[in-house]
A and B are shown apart, each in its own frame.
Chain A
Amino acid sequence: MANQKETTFAKKVADFFCSLKLTIFCLISLAVTSIIGTVIQQNKPRGEYVQVYGENLTNVFEKLQIIDMYHAWWFLGLLFLFCVNLISCSIKRLPQIITSVNNPPLTPDESYFKSLTGAKTFDSKLPPDQARERLSNLLGERFAKAKTTKADGTIHLFAQKMPWARFSVYVTHFSILLIFVGAIIGNIWGFKAYVNIVEGTSVDQVWKQGEKNPLKLGFEVRCDDFSVTFYEGGQRPKEFASVLDVIDNGQEVISNRKIVVNDPLSYKGITFYQSSYGSAGAATFKMRVTPKGGSGRIVTGQEGDHIPLPNGGSFAVNGYAAEYQGFGPAVQMHVNTPDGKHGNPFVVFQRHPEFDARRGGDYAFALLEYNELQYTGLQVKKDPGVWVVWTGCFLMIFGSMAAFMLAHRRIWIAIVARGNGCTVRFGGTTHRNRAAFDLYLDELTTEIESTLNAPAGEK
């Protein structure tokens, strides 16, 4: 008695995990809870939440982990439930399906035929063996090779197409688990970090988000150059590019590899993505300074410094734009008079060296070179699970298309002797797209009829 109670309880639990109701519950709950994270911004500093929602609500959010909800225990729990549901369903159903695919009824009785799609009965004058031969050929040509079984004086034909289509659902479901497995592998054995490399220098370690200690790469990455280019005549950036080298064991194994935003560099499973950039210290420039009526002289200097002029005054460069109002690179500068008076700032364009003479100052400036020492900001990522994820995605797409479009179709024919002729029973099943199968069976029925009605001895 107690035992029975236990089994019914166990069965109830099992049924719960296998139920499609649970699936639909999971899908809908995931959909609804996911919305929360799109409305409330995720992973912002605490202060921002307090500002928008107030202290009390922020405390509630923190308790419920709503500010990092996609990693919250309840969201991960829901995903876990979803997987358990998927696995238990498959465990429950798969053996049944394998059995039913492997052991189709080969000698079905009359009532089984009545339950089939497109069930029909014909009377024919043909002797049973001749009917069998003709129908078997017809099935072979129009459907699939038929298997013949004789039982109790009745001849049975059975043919089926794409029995494996039954398993496409399981492939699809398995693919979802595979994607989760890939994500878990990535979380355990992968990392996500960043590093800034100043032009001309190299690094051998990177920093994981929110961690103090760096992570050794095991090789060195050097940045030769970083550059930003702009579309003609505008502020719209065209390309952020870094030129990188990889040095492993003192050997330069990758040289001058240019990376841009959509084209990263990979080495030993670690990938470097162009992500940001910035200025690393003062810039240097080279200018030609031409006194009124005199000849020019080349001057180099550092941004921000006051550089003396022959007349006792000085000049300074204190700004640079890679793209200034459609005229290309330009610096902003000013001239100080010998008595130390600060002149008005003006702009000098690199692409128009003759331009500044028109300003009419005591000196004309032409920008020859400007080197701003920059650093490139790289996102660094290692994810050994990513191929598992892609395999899962691939299986999901092909599995779901197969699950929707491919049908396991089966046709049975029974030939029962009746006097000199025979009675033929016919019918089929499909596990998908019944309407199309109905039409197909209608056509096949007409052909069967004409085959059976053709005079004996003819084909």
Chain B
Amino acid sequence: MTSVQLFNLTTIGYFVAMILFIAYLVTRSRIIALTATIVAWVGFATNTAAITLRWFEGRAMGYSQAPLSNLYESIVFFAWSILFIYLLMDLKYRQRAVGAFVMPFAFLGMTWAQLGLNDAIEPLVPALQSNWLTYHVITCFLGYAAFAVACGASIMYLLIVNKNQESGFFSIFPSSKVLDDINYKSIMIGFPLLTLGIVTGAAWANYAWGTYWSWDPKETWSLIVWFIYAAFLHARFTRGWAGKRAAWLSIFGFAATIFCYLGVNLVLSGLHSYGS
């Protein structure tokens, strides 16, 4: 078994879990919801095993780096992080319908990685040989994942708000109050993680190049994302922004997050071009 095969199994697991969650929305069967959750757990375990195995594969090739160094590795870790945050939220809220709006992010990420990206394990160029890289990637992606969950909950919120939830399709959705809370709690988890991600990135840059901040496009975009979520939290804490406006801001914030992660590499130029 190679790690790439395990990643394929992970992708299939996430696909099945996603379909089951959607089936749950339609059928309202608790058994389907439970099965979906179990499949999601199994997929998460496979994802974990695959990342670990890839680490060992790298070691066997004589590279000591953590498997977090190129676009392929970062996106499978992103999928792992999304599941991690989602399953944490599921343990707390047990609102299975949310899965139908979060699993697609993980599934899309895995599919793109498996179909479109180079999965070779390559040694690191000198600029990336640092433990700071590992801390930086882990904190950033856990933060991004929390924002993904917040975005999923916000989309659901916008679908059900002002709708009658007594009966019909939307009655299986969590109440708008719960969705709003999931949105807010996820951002509250994600924000300190993003802060930590930016700080570890700055610490690394300072250690490697002697400048902790150089306004490179990736850095600047991470700061833009930080500003957006800071605005979200302040609007919430002191002006009581909740509900619709909060949901839109959260979706907008996640769009900026994705741009920061992918758009900057694909559209703009700068330092962080994943070793290309």
On A, residues with C-beta under 8 Å from B are: 20, 23-24, 27-28, 30-31, 34-35, 37-39, 41-42, 70, 183, 192, 231, 236-240, 260-262, 264, 271, 273-275, 379-381, 383, 386, 389-390, 393, 396-397, 400-401, 404-405, 435
Contacts and interface: CB of A to CB of B under 8 A. Distances in A.
B56 interface: no
Nearest to A23: B234
A400 B195 contact: yes
Given A31-B228, A236-B123, A240-B126, A393 B234 contact: no
Given A38-B221, A262-B208, A400-B195, 18 more contacts: A20-B234, A23-B231, A24-B234, A27-B234, A28-B227, A28-B228, A31-B223, A31-B224, A38-B268, A41-B269, A42-B215, A260-B129, A261-B126, A273-B209, A275-B209, A386-B206, A389-B212, A404-B191
Interface in B198-229: 199, 202-203, 206-213, 215, 217, 220-221, 223-224, 227-228
Contacts of A38: 217, 220-221, 264, 268
Interface of B: 122-123, 125-127, 129-130, 132, 181, 188, 191-192, 195-196, 199, 202-203, 206-213, 215, 217, 220-221, 223-224, 227-228, 230-231, 234-235, 238-239, 264, 268-269
A275 B206 CA distance: 13
Contacts of A261: 126-127, 129, 208
B210 A381 contact: yes
Nearest to A30: B227
A238 B211 CA distance: 23
A386 B234 CA distance: 28
Nearest to B221: A38
B209 A379 contact: yes
B123 A20 contact: no
A389 B199 CA distance: 10
B224 A34 contact: yes
Contact of B231 (A28, A262, A381, A386): A28
Contacts of B207: 262, 264
Contacts of A400: 191-192, 195
Nearest to A230: B123
B227 A386 contact: no
Contacts of B122: 236
Contacts of A397: 192, 195-196, 199
B188 A404 contact: yes
A35 B209 CA distance: 24
A56 to B, nearest CB: 24
B210 A264 contact: yes
A389 B126 CA distance: 26
Contacts of A274: 126
A317 B118 CA distance: 39
A192 B211 contact: yes
A240 B122 CA distance: 18
B227 A379 contact: no
A2 B223 CA distance: 46
Given A31-B224, A273-B209, A37 B215 contact: yes
A240 B212 CA distance: 21
Contact of A37 (B195, B196, B220, B264): B220
Nearest to A43: B215
Nearest to A20: B238
Contacts of A383: 210
Contacts of B235: 24
What 3 A-B pairs come out closest when comparing CB atoms? A381-B210, A38-B217, A31-B227
A275 B203 CA distance: 17
A35 B228 CA distance: 13
A435 B181 contact: yes
29 contacts: A20-B239, A23-B231, A23-B234, A27-B228, A27-B231, A28-B231, A31-B231, A34-B227, A35-B224, A192-B211, A236-B123, A237-B125, A260-B129, A261-B126, A261-B127, A261-B129, A262-B129, A264-B208, A264-B210, A379-B209, A386-B212, A389-B202, A390-B203, A393-B199, A393-B202, A397-B192, A397-B195, A400-B192, A401-B192
